[in-house]
Structure 1
Amino acid sequence: MKRRKFIRNVSLGSIISGLTGFELIAAENNTKHADGFNLNYAPHFGMFQNHAGKDLVSQLDFMAAQGFRALEDNGMLGRPVEEQKKIAKALERLQMTMGVFVVDGGDNWKTSLTTGKEEFLENFINTCKRSVEVAKRVNAKWMTVVPGFYERNLPLGIQTGNVIEALKRGADIFEPHGLTMVLEPLSDTPELFLRYSDQSYAVCKAVGSPSCKILYDVYHMQRNEGNLIPNMEKCWDEIAYIQLGDNPGRKEPGTGEINYKNVFKFIASKGFEGIVGMEHGNASPGIDGEKALIKAYKEADQFKN
């Protein structure tokens, strides 16, 4: 055994007996799973608050202790600056990566990029500029963009053109900073404009920027189109970010019909080094539900390349 690893294990062993609750679970997991997971899974705040409490930094400490190396926080843009800085400092200390937050300028632009109206485009551009400031503050690289709802009084081609033009403007803002907006096709309502992986692929190709890529959410794509692995393969060169949830229910892997062990194996086989966001709820409440969630990821992550 290497000297550094031996000293680390002896030190951990000498203090575990004095720990309780969240600290004991964290120390045990650091001993057994010091190298974390095969893929870079990112929990979100609230997912482990029964273990760690409501304090955000304590939750980050707990995530890191379980082997998670990233965080997602859709609402980061709306957090106070001091809170953003506090989160960023904790992420740096824990050597965790910041995942996506949502470029959300309010319902007006979010439902109207398809229309091509200047007022909504201007709101979107201003929100992109604000997002650059936040991304720098928390060391984020990816921001989620949802074009909005299908506009029934406009032909599909016109709407697509409007969305592409808006995204080009957004890419012009993000590209000089090395940031990427990731387009997420969703299944929440049939009224949404962006719903399929091939549609998202076509839009990204038309925008033609490294700052405009696909956020492939396995849960949404299972609901909208299925055939997950072949469709991911077809769109792979435009996929920059991945999220997941099992279906039905949108809970952790193993609670629905998706064979996540095979999905994760495919993602790893592509050499994916980005973030796999845990964009789902807990199947069961309380501490036991959180333990079950961690166990589910450990089991689904047990694959051989």
Structure 2
Amino acid sequence: MPKFAANLTMLFTELPFLDRFAAARAAGFDAVEYLFPYEYPKEELAARLRANRLKQVLHNLPAGDWAAGERGIACLPDRVEEFRAGVARAIDYAHAVDCPQLNCLAGKLPTGCSRELAQRTLVGNLRFAANELAHAGIRLLVEPINTFDIPGFFLTRSDQALALIEEVGSDNLFLQYDLYHAQRMEGELAGTLSRHLDRIAHIQLADNPGRNEPGTGEINYPFLFRHLEALGYKGFVGCEYKPLTTTAEGLGWMR
């Protein structure tokens, strides 16, 4: 069975964020992930992890004004300086909480910007970030997102992400493979895992439709868990889903 990490952005939302660390430990998790740490002092996050004997396995680079609908700035030509400053901030937080990998959200294609210019911007930003993170001992990940949930998102499919990784040309850039987003855009989950496991550094899950817990939709998660075990996947699987009812009931699939 894979190792699972609780996504504290999506799970235990009945509690204040900082209280979700203890809730994850009480539910049996050894590891956590979440979207962004930057709203909280890094010392407080590190203390919560230590107090609850939890490993943090992932968070994202700063992604612009999330509340205003931004979903990443890495492909935005007029935000390069902001992106580079965000890389330094993310490294600072990652070191404080001992997080081994950071995910980069590409963002939405800006109005009036050609795909070619957005691609060049994204490649340049990823080269910069991959190099900075390599010096810091941290892996860089990039994640395709489905366009049903985020219309206009620039990076949408696994083959596009893998071609992007080739173009960047860094051995410190990997694919974050979210099974829910991949199912919505392309399917072929087991085949993609088999062909590209060497480039996949982190996996996330949710069922489709609804982005709820495994067992509520069409994805055959028992099969995929066996498949991952057979492939020898050693990383974590992040539980990035919205419980259909309560978090407690939404964790029933793990039992």
User: Which of 127, 130, 133 matches 1:174?
Assistant: 133
Q: What's 1:147 paired with?
A: 106
Q: Distance in 1 between matches of 2:171 and 2:31?
A: 22
Residues 233 and 140 of structure 1: is their aligned pair in 2 closer, same or farther, counting only changes over 3 Å?
same
Query: How many residues of Structure 1 are paired with residues of Structure 2 in the alignment?
Result: 249
Q: Distance in 2 between matches of 1:243 and 1:271?
A: 16
Deviation at 1:110, TM superposition (A): 5.4
2:81 matches 1:122: yes
Report which of the two structures shows the higher radius of gyration computed on alpha carbons.
1
Of stretches 202-211 and 239-248 in structure 1, the one that deviates more from structure 2 is 202-211
2:18 matches 1:56: yes
Q: What's 1:218 paired with?
A: 179
Q: What's 1:19 paired with?
A: none
2:254 matches 1:293: no
Equivalences for residues 65-80 of structure 1 within 5 A: 65-80=26-41
Letter in structure 2 aligned against 1:56: L
User: Which of 95, 107, 126 matches 2:65?
Assistant: 107
**Gapped runs of 5+ residues in structure 2?**
none
Instruction: For residue 43 of structure 1, give the secondary structure of its aligned residue in structure 2.
Output: strand
Q: Distance in 2 between matches of 1:158 and 1:235?
A: 27
Letter in structure 2 aligned against 1:113: A
Q: What's 2:155 paired with?
A: 194
1:127-157 Cα deviation digits (max 9, x unpaired): 1101111011101011121111124644434
User: Which of 183, 200, 219 matches 1:258?
Assistant: 219
Question: Is this contact kept in 2: 1:77–1:101, CA < 8 A?
Answer: no
Q: What's 1:42 paired with?
A: 5
1:155-184 Cα deviation digits (max 9, x unpaired): 434422221111001111100122112111
Q: What's 1:90 paired with?
A: 51
Question: Is this contact kept in 2: 1:180–1:210, CA < 8 A?
Answer: no
Q: Distance in 2 between matches of 1:148 and 1:54?
A: 27
Letter in structure 2 aligned against 1:73: Y
Question: Which has a greater percent of helix?
Answer: 1
Instruction: For residue 185 of structure 1, give the secondary structure of its aligned residue in structure 2.
Output: coil
Instruction: For residue 7 of structure 2, give the secondary structure of its aligned residue in structure 1.
Output: coil
Q: Distance in 1 between matches of 2:59 and 2:113?
A: 30
Question: Which has a greater percent of strand?
Answer: 2
After the TM superposition, list the runs of 4 or more consecutive aligned residues in structure 1 that deviate by more than 6 angstroms: none
Q: How many percent identity over aligned positions? A: 29
After TM superposition, the score normalised by the length of structure 1 is: 0.74
2:91 matches 1:132: yes
